[in-house]
Structure 1
Amino acid sequence: MNVRWRPGLPWFRGHRRGLLRSYPTVAFDRPAVLFGAATHDIGKIAHPGELSGPGSDYEAAGYELLLAQGIDERLARFARTHGCWDQPDTKLDDLLVSLADKVWKAKRVPDLEQLVVARLADATGEQPWQTFLKLDEELDRLAAGADHRLDFQNQYPVAA
């Protein structure tokens, strides 16, 4: 099978209904979010049992690993923060990485989605229900490919 994988979060690229198209004035650090989406689970290198089993030790391990490699804390933080999106001072960038992590595997988390909706609506002045409808449509579209992604991933199991 010839599979071409293109890195990044699809809703940030040129789709006709992406986050950038729907909310071009909302301030977030796109390169940082893309980096966070790509590296947030890197600590599973140190905790391979958490690749397919429960646990969150990999979060701190990933953060430390990235720092040890000279990655700036503002980028390394995603390894540590993507699982604790419900903290009071969570930035939109962190919420977007957390949301990408969930929707990649078609897991919809209403509380997380509501936080993102609230941030986007506040930033734009849009009614929250309008923001929700746009985000919901985009998340459904992205989640629709999860079975294929997870099947592909499961073809290459990693033994702990």
Structure 2
Amino acid sequence: MASAALHRALTDHHAVRPLPDAVRDLLEALDAPPRLAAHLRLVHDVAHRLVEWTARHHPAVEVDREAVLFGAATHDIGKTVHVEELSGPGSAHELAGHALLRDRGVEERLARFARTHASWTEPGIEVEDLLVSVADKVWKAKRVDDLEQLLVARFAAANGEPGWAVFLALDDELDRIAAGADERLAVQAAHPIGSGPERWTS
């Protein structure tokens, strides 16, 4: 049974979209750290906004919407295994999260983001991976030029538009999203890392 703190992280803040039911059930089964659940909701919310924006501005770009949203909602799930990476650096959660999802029967199309969200220059990266990676950065107003340029190139190639025009439009949207970073960071910080004596360590 999920803790009360996890339940709050999954249900409070009505302006933030809820996670997909399957992801919520998985986080409850894992008794995930509340702060992780809040983080996943926030990145999922931003990814939803990016998917909607892409559909409006780049309809020629084929995007697996379900994969992006599931990927954003689970990208850091390996931090249920490597909890120390919630409050410090580390990449062990990436492969651990992918393995966790695959062991629970999640298909590769949906599980891959746990290992690709920080590896956007690797071979085989698709537009869906780039969208999740961008969401995982811009939710806290972090802008990563090489990552964004990869997304611009995908959009420009699909639409036949000049890259500079695609960049300007994407840049404007990312600026709008980044403007809400302080509020999102406050939402995440409102939830403890765990239930022990160091539960509020950030």
Alignment TM-score, normalising by the size of structure 1: 0.92
- Cα deviation, residue 105, structure 1: 1.2
* Distance across 2 between alignment mates of 1:79 and 1:118: 23
**Structure richer in helix, relative to its length:** 2
Query: Could you report, residue by residue, the CA deviation over 1:124-147 in whole angstroms, capped at 9, with x for unpaired residues?
Result: 100000000110011011111111
List per-residue Cα deviations over 1:53-103 (Å, max 9, x = no partner): 100000011001101111001111100011100124311111111111111
Contact 2:50–2:131, Cα closer than 8 Å, also in 1: no
Q: Deviations over 1:8-46 (max 9, x none)?
A: 422323xxxx11110112112111011101110100000
Gaps of 5+ in 1: none
Amino acid of the structure 2 residue aligned with 1:40: H
Secondary structure at 1:71 match in 2 = coil
Q: Aligned Cα RMSD in Å?
A: 1.4
Q: Which moved more, 1:148-157 or 1:55-64?
A: 148-157
SS of structure 2 residue aligned to 1:37: helix
Q: 2:17 aligns with which of 6, 31, 50?
A: 6
Aligned to 1:80: 115
Matched, 1:111 2:122: no
In the TM superposition, structure 1's runs of 4+ consecutive aligned residues that sit over 6 Å from their partners are: none
SS in 2 for 1:25: coil
Tell me how far apart the structure 2 counterparts of residues 36 and 10 of structure 1 sit (CA, whole Å). 14
2:187 alignment counterpart: 152
What letter matches 1:36 in structure 2?
A: G
| Percent of aligned positions that are identical | 59
**Counterparts of residues 27-42 of structure 1 (less than 5 Å):** 27-42=62-77
Q: Which residue of 2 aligns with 1:24?
A: 59
Residue 139, structure 1, aligned to residue 174, structure 2: yes
Instruction: Tell me the amino acid that sits aligned with residue 10 of structure 1.
Output: R
- TM superposition shift of 1:3: 2.4
Normalised by the size of structure 2, how large is the TM-score? 0.73
Structure 2: gaps (5+ residues)? 1-11, 19-44, 194-198
Rounded to whole Å, the distance in 2 between the matches of 1:40 and 1:155 is 21
